[in-house]
């Protein structure tokens, strides 16, 4: 299991007594600690470095559970985000956090465990609703688990709920905490996948394609349900062969019957993200394709390119297994129809589609 280098701990006022902060200090006894005041927000263009070797403990006073920041302009899956922290120790060139965060460093919300009771109350107030909750929107779900022990308290908490699942999404092979846990019910372990070329050239400090899928195989053998996310699909000369290879590795090691869903999404970005990426990764070529401005203000591949990529990757996945719970992330009704041959038509129907996948899982 890979351990990422931490050079200092920044302890914000109020976090020093939180249980998670105390645990991390025990795990890193020789790392220097600086007591700091809460950060002031900085203009995003002033964030030159992400400072991924500083671990900042924050007594978070915001909302821990929030809807995914989608847009009504496209069909959205209705995901709920559990805020456990912001930023991750890996360094994908295309990461949206480069233009999203207003402060550098790995930011850990040290009072998360205490606030699970609030989340419990939210879930219990809607007993007929399915909550699909994930921790991988603003940070990787497992990359720092060896320090934080997130899985030690999140797995038993969510396994005990009747109307929700927790999805842990990662680009690592950091599964030690998962495997040692005795909890499996209502837990989905998911991997973001890409081609070997994109992983090697753009997903810096992440696990290789094979290591990710071998970790998934180990979790599957241990009784976990799996999910996979081909997002972002990136268009480059030879992409067809690259994604074919990715599916072949899946075929070799994974039993498709216990996969709850597979999502497809294309590379998209806000204008200010391009500036941040080019500053941090000079010479990068992922912007060489044909892009247009989407309904949400993000630049996306020209629609025929997206349709072709979705169609070919989904066709190959269906050839492997025809019940993978395929869906598109933030796309329009016509792109669904042209690429997958069907469409949920709106966000409510996509939510129902995915909720039914969860109900099926809970019934087994």
Using a 10 angstrom Cβ sphere, with 0-12 exposed, 13-18 middle and 19 or more buried, the burial of residue 347 is middle
Q: Which residues of the chain have pLDDT under 70?
A: 1, 40-48
Alpha-carbon distances, residue 327 vs 21, 132, 197, 221, 356 (angstroms): 38, 15, 24, 25, 13
User: Which of 77, 201, 212, 196 minimizes the C-alpha distance to 142?
Assistant: 212
Q: Are 236 and 125 in contact (CB under 8 A)?
A: no
Q: pLDDT tens for residues 229-288? A: 999 999 999 999 999 999 999 999 999 999 999 999 999 999 999 999 999 999 999 998
Kindly report the backbone phi and psi dihedral angles of residue 180, in degrees, each rounded to the nearest multiple of 5, phi listed first. -75, -20
Give the orientation angle of helix 303-320 with respect to helix 333-340, to 10 degrees: 50
Q: pLDDT tens for residues 201-242? A: 999 999 999 999 999 999 999 999 999 999 999 999 999 999
Q: How many domains, the chain?
A: 1
In a 3-state reduction of DSSP, which class is residue 245? helix
On whether residue 1 sits in a domain, the answer given is no
Distance between CA atoms of 265 and 263, rounded to whole angstroms? 7
Two tokens, residue 324: 């993978």
Two tokens, residue 221: 């053998």
pLDDT at residue 48 in the model: 57
On whether residue 3 sits in a domain, the answer given is no
Handedness of CA 95, 96, 102, 107 (dihedral sign): negative
On whether residue 66 sits in a domain, the answer given is yes
On whether residue 48 sits in a domain, the answer given is yes
Two tokens, residue 197: 């070329």
Distance between CA atoms of 26 and 33, rounded to whole angstroms? 12
Two tokens, residue 102: 């207003």
On whether residue 125 sits in a domain, the answer given is yes
Two tokens, residue 172: 């690592």
User: Which of 97, 175, 163 minimizes the C-alpha distance to 133?
Assistant: 163
What is the number of residues in the chain? Answer: 364
H/E stretch holding 191: strand 187-192
Handedness of CA 346, 349, 354, 355 (dihedral sign): positive
Distance between CA atoms of 327 and 265, rounded to whole angstroms? 9
Residue with tokens 């180990």: 218
On whether residue 2 sits in a domain, the answer given is no
Domain residue limits at 352: 8-363
pLDDT at residue 43 in the model: 45
Q: What is the CATH number of the domain that holds 97?
A: 3.80.30.30
End-to-end CA separation in angstroms for the chain: 31
Contacts by 291-298 with C-beta closer than 8 Å and gap 24+? 294/73, 294/74, 294/268, 295/71, 295/73, 295/74, 295/332, 296/71, 296/73, 296/74, 296/330, 297/270, 297/271, 298/268, 298/269, 298/270
On whether residue 102 sits in a domain, the answer given is yes
Q: Phi/psi class of residue 153: alpha, beta or left (left: φ > 0; alpha: ψ in -120 to 50)?
A: alpha
pLDDT at residue 72 in the model: 76
On whether residue 198 sits in a domain, the answer given is yes
The whole-model pTM stands at 0.96
Fill in the DSSP letter of residue 240.
Answer: H
Q: How many CB atoms lie within 10 A of CB 222?
A: 14
Kindly report the backbone phi and psi dihedral angles of residue 85, in degrees, each rounded to the nearest multiple of 5, phi listed first. 170, 180
Distance between CA atoms of 81 and 79, rounded to whole angstroms? 7
Q: Are 56 and 38 in contact (CB under 8 A)?
A: no
């Amino acid at each position: 299991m890979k351990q990422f280098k931490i050079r200092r701990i920044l302890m914000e006022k109020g976090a020093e007594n939180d249980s998670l902060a105390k645990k991390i200090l025990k795990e890193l006894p020789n790392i220097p600690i600086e007591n700091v005041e809460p950060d002031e927000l900085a203009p995003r263009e002033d964030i030159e470095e992400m400072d991924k070797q500083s671990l900042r403990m924050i007594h978070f006073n915001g909302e821990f559970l929030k809807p995914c920041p989608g847009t009504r302009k496209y069909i959205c899956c209705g995901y709920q985000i559990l805020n456990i922290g912001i930023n991750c120790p890996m360094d994908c060139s295309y990461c949206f956090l480069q233009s999203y965060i207003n402060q550098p460093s790995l930011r850990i919300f040290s009072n998360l465990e205490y606030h699970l009771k609030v989340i419990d109350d939210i879930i219990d107030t809607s007993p007929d609703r399915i909550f699909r909750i994930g921790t991988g929107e603003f940070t990787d779900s497992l990359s720092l688990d060896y320090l934080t022990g997130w899985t030690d308290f999140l797995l038993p908490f969510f396994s005990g709920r009747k109307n929700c699942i927790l999805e842990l999404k990662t680009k690592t092979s950091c599964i030690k905490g998962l495997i040692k846990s005795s909890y499996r019910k209502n837990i989905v372990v998911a991997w973001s996948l890409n081609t070997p070329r994109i992983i090697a050239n753009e997903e810096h400090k992440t696990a290789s394609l094979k290591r990710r899928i071998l970790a998934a195989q180990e979790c599957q053998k241990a009784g976990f349900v799996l999910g996979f996310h081909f997002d972002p699909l990136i268009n480059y000369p030879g992409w067809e062969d690259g994604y074919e290879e990715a599916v072949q590795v899946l075929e070799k090691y994974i039993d498709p019957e216990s996969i709850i869903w597979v999502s497809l999404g294309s590379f998209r970005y806000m204008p200010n993200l391009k500036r941040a990426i080019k500053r941090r990764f000079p010479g990068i070529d992922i912007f060489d394709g044909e892009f247009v401005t989407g309904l949400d203000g993000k630049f996306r591949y020209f629609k025929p390119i997206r349709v072709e990529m979705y169609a070919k990757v989904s066709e190959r996945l269906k050839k492997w297994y025809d019940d993978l719970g395929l869906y598109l992330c933030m796309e329009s009704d016509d792109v669904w129809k042209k690429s997958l041959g069907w469409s949920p038509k709106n966000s409510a129907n996509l939510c129902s589609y995915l909720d039914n996948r969860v109900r099926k899982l809970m019934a087994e």
